[in-house]
Copies of this chain bind each other. A is one copy, B any other.
Amino acid sequence: MLKKEWDYVNKILKKIKNIRNLLQDESMYVIIVYDVNVSRVNKIKSFLRKHLNWVQNSVFEGEVTKAEFERIKDGILRIIDEDEDSVIIYQFPLNFMPKREILGLEKNPIDDII
């Protein structure tokens, strides 16, 4: 096979691989709550805003892929002081979403975001 055909085949294989990775990188739903020193609140809030939906003071939610999830955790670890700050991540598969109920004000309605 000529080099030109081989390059073409390689390109196709690469595309198939990317699509397969995307498919395998199943998404999940995460809720992140944080309790951090006031000096770091703005930094963690603006970081998480890039990836997830702000729903309430110190609470973010959203659908992410595995790869995004790892990037979010790395980003949080770069911001917080692990001896002082606390971040809890609840993670579930998309088909086991929790029932979600609001009492009082809904500060940032999720359905307006998605």
- Of B56, B76, B92, which contacts A99 at CB under 8 A? B92
Indicate how many identical chains form the complex.
2
Contact with B along A76-97 (1 / 0, CB 8 A): 1100111111111111100010
Interface residues on chain A, size class: 35 or more
Chain B, residue nearest A92 (CB): B98
Residues of B contacting A35 with CB < 8 Å? 56-59, 107
Q: Considering the chains assembled together, what is the distance between the CA atoms of A81 and B105 in angstroms?
A: 9
**Is B85 a contact of A104 with CB atoms below 8 Å?**
yes
Query: Can you name 8 A-B pairs with beta carbons within 8 Å?
Result: A31-B98, A35-B59, A55-B88, A80-B103, A86-B102, A87-B102, A88-B100, A88-B102
